[in-house]
Structure 1
Amino acid sequence: MDDRNAAALSAGMPLYAAWLVAMAATLGALFIGEVLGQMPCVLCWYQRIAMFPLALILGIACLQGDSAVRTYALPLSITGGAIALWHSGLYFGLVPQRVAPCVKDGPSCTDAAMTIAGLPIPILSLVAFAAITLALALMKGSRT
């Protein structure tokens, strides 16, 4: 592998990492909802709205070698991360329950069932969005 190919590969590694995290989070959310039958709360739905397109957008960017993906992927990952941070605050009682957006008919944003394998789902989401944001921020210039 020559120096140019090695540089292109190293520039794309953060992009591939971001895509793998987005795919894992998307598949995890689908598994929790469709296989385990756990209904998502309102804040989980908003986080899904940010995460699901990231899996597709970042996957296409990987195929195209498009580092310009940062322009439209960073706003999604930062927004999703902000919602996950708020959700985590609700879950751990740092944000008062009276400002929780969940309705009486749906699952609670702070329910004890908001865990998977003993880990709080809001924290898993926050870690995923933070990892994607960091990977996108670490991307180098466009690849050719």
Structure 2
Amino acid sequence: MAHRSENIVLVAWMLSLTSSLAVLFIGEVLGQIPCSLCWFQRAFMFPLAIVLGLGVWWRDPMVARYGVILAAIGAVIALWHLGVFYGLTPESIRPCSASGPSCSGSEMTVLGLPIPLLSLVAFGAIATLLITSLRKNPNE
């Protein structure tokens, strides 16, 4: 049963690594400057790739517990960003200013999809996978 749980964490790590590389591609290759909410989401996705990768390498059964916290916080920030993107968030709590990149402009899309939505899906999938792996090993 532990082997199956390790595979689930491996999939979560691959998703976090792919997401991290994707945002680096968007920023460094496509030249899109991240907004402040994008930076906060990166602050939780990048460590996920490292923490989950080390957990897979060391076969640490506790890594899912640490990873699910990072993924949940990242998902909350992505949800907030999605609210800003669609204009659902009150202006008084919008972190993006006129001097920096827009949190809701057309540059916040990739292949026609809002980046905050892609981020929310990635964080949600990672959290779901990690919770599933914890349920596979209830004694850990």
TM-score normalised by structure 1 residue count: 0.89
Supply the distance in 2 between the matched residues of 1:118 and 1:42 (Cα, whole angstroms).
21
- State the 1:17 CA deviation: 1.2
Q: Matched residue of 1:58: which SS?
A: helix
1:30-66 deviations in Å (ceiling 9; x for gaps): 0000000000000000000000010011011111111
2:76 to 82, 92, 97: 82
**What is the match of residue 4 of structure 1?**
none
Distance 1:125 1:91 in 2: 13
RMSD: 1.6
Distance 2:106 2:5 in 1: 41
Aligned with 1:141 (options 124, 137, 140)? 137
Structure 2 counterpart of 1:67, one-letter code? P
CA shift, 1:9, in A, is: 2.6
Structure 1 distance, partners of 2:122, 2:132, is 15
Task: Say whether residues 1:59 and 2:58 are aligned partners.
Answer: no
The percent of aligned pairs where both chains have the same amino acid is 47
Aligned to 1:127: 121
**Count of matched residue pairs:** 137
* Partner AA of 1:66 in structure 2: D
Question: Structure 1: how far apart are the matches of 2:67 and 2:2?
Answer: 20
* TM-score (normalizing by structure 2): 0.92
**Within the alignment, does 1:100 sit opposite 2:94 as a pair?**
yes
Secondary structure class of the residue paired with 1:94: coil
Deviation at 1:20, TM superposition (A): 0.9
- Rg larger in structure: 1
Runs of 5+ unmatched residues, structure 2 = none
Partners in 2 of 1:68 and 1:50 — Cα distance? 18
